[in-house]
């Protein structure tokens, strides 16, 4: 038996309480994966045992960057590649807050790549969500550091001549304490991962493989958004706890997804407090100094 909903009920959205409805309709193309990822972000935020007044979302520029404009929380749509330094400043000013960066592969790991590795090295207590659609979507479909070898973009019309980064390996090697990758069809796992990442103390990173039918799929004859996401999902294999350098994205083989890193290490603020309390041994240790080199 079908249950007929009132007009008011059918017009409402399950996440309406966290959306700036005056900004809707959103700009994302039909078949884009960002909308479903955004839904997972909102679900994960609602499940957090944390005041919504103390959660901030920060984005850079690009299609994913629009999330910050649609979420009804403290949110900041910053300049291209600078979401992480902005989020770092927020976290240092309000250590009790949860700060979530939502941006795309080009923004976070090309233009903002330097910020990414140093925030992970310092173990800044923020969560970074990277929606990886293998291209610069909004700015014209240019080659990104995620573009697979041979894939066509506006700036590589014959095929990309470069090897892409493995972002999960890069995050882990730089010092991230939590690293996971899913596709935008792994809704439950992605939502769980985002929740775990936001609960984690330290730099946490979640990558999502997501279709961009307009800029990437069209040029590479991958079909519609649904075809692309079904392809990503069917090619994926879950391998939790493996070394992230083995979490490769082989488009002729398997796309490795899973939770790869979940460790503990002092955050930047933990270390900063120790320095402030003078709890650090003199450096370098006097008995380790070379003879004749007096301080």
**Which of 81/137 has CB closer to ligand SF4?**
137
In whole angstroms, give the CA distance from residue 175 to residue 152.
32
In whole angstroms, give the CA distance from residue 250 to residue 239.
14
Per DSSP, 57 falls in state E
With b for 16 or more beta-carbon neighbours within 10 A and e for fewer, the 196-209 pattern comes to bbbbbebbbbbbbb
**Count, residues near ligand SF4 per rule CB under 6 A:** 12
115-134 residues in contact with ligand SF4 (CB under 6 A) are 133
Q: How far is the CB of 212 from ligand SF4 (least distance, A)?
A: 3
Residue from 137, 164, 175, 244 binding ligand SF4 (CB under 6 A): 137
| 29 in contact with ligand SF4 (CB under 6 A) | yes
Report how far apart, in Å, the C-alpha atoms of 57 and of each of 116, 197, 293 are.
Answer: 16, 14, 50
148-167 residues in contact with ligand SF4 (CB under 6 A) are none
Convert residues 187-226 into a mask of x (bound to ligand SF4 by CB under 6 A) and - (unbound).
Answer: -------------------------xxxx-----------
**Which of 39/266 has CB closer to ligand SF4?**
39
Residue from 32, 129, 206, 261 binding ligand SF4 (CB under 6 A): 32
In whole angstroms, give the CA distance from residue 106 to residue 85.
16
Q: How far is the CB of 161 from ligand SF4 (least distance, A)?
A: 22
CA-nearest of 134, 148, 142, 145 to 110 is: 145
| Residue 230 contacts residue 185 (beta carbons within 8 Å) | yes
Annotate 247-261 with three-state secondary structure.
CCECCCCCEEEEEEE
Stretch touching ligand SF4 by CB under 6 A, among 24-32, 201-209, 229-237, 265-273: 24-32
Residue from 63, 87, 144, 151 binding ligand SF4 (CB under 6 A): 63
Residues lying near ligand SF4 in the complex (CB under 6 A): 28-29, 32, 34, 63, 133, 137-138, 212-215
């Amino acid at each position: 038996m079908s249950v007929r909903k009132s007009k008011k009920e059918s017009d409402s959205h399950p996440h309406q309480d966290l959306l700036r409805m005056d900004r809707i309709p959103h700009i994302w193309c039909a078949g884009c994966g960002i909308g479903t990822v955004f839904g997972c972000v909102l679900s994960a935020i609602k499940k957090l045992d944390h005041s919504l007044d103390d959660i901030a979302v920060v984005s850079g520029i690009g299609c994913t960057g629009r999330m910050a404009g649609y979420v009804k929380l403290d949110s900041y749509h910053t300049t291209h590649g600078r979401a992480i330094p902005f989020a770092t400043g927020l976290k240092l000013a309000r250590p009790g807050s949860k700060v979530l960066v939502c941006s795309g592969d080009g923004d976070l790991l090309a233009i903002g790549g330097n910020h990414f590795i140093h925030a992970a090295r310092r173990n800044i207590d923020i969560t970074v969500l990277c929606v990886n659609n293998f291209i610069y979507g909004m700015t014209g479909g240019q080659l990104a550091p995620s573009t697979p070898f041979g894939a066509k973009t506006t700036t590589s019309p014959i095929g990309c001549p470069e090897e892409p980064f493995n972002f999960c390996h890069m995050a882990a090697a730089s010092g991230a304490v939590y690293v996971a990758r899913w596709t935008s069809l792994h809704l439950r796992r992605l939502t769980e991962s985002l929740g775990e990442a936001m609960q984690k103390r330290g730099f946490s990173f979640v990558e999502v493989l997501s279709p961009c039918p307009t800029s990437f799929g069209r040029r590479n004859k991958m079909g519609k958004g649904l075809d692309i996401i079904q392809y990503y999902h069917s090619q994926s294999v879950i391998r939790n706890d493996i070394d992230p350098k083995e979490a490769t994205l082989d488009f002729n083989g398997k796309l490795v997804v899973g939770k790869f890193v979940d460790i503990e290490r002092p955050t930047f603020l933990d270390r900063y407090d120790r320095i402030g309390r003078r709890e650090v041994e003199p450096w370098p240790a006097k008995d380790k100094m070379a003879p004749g080199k007096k301080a």
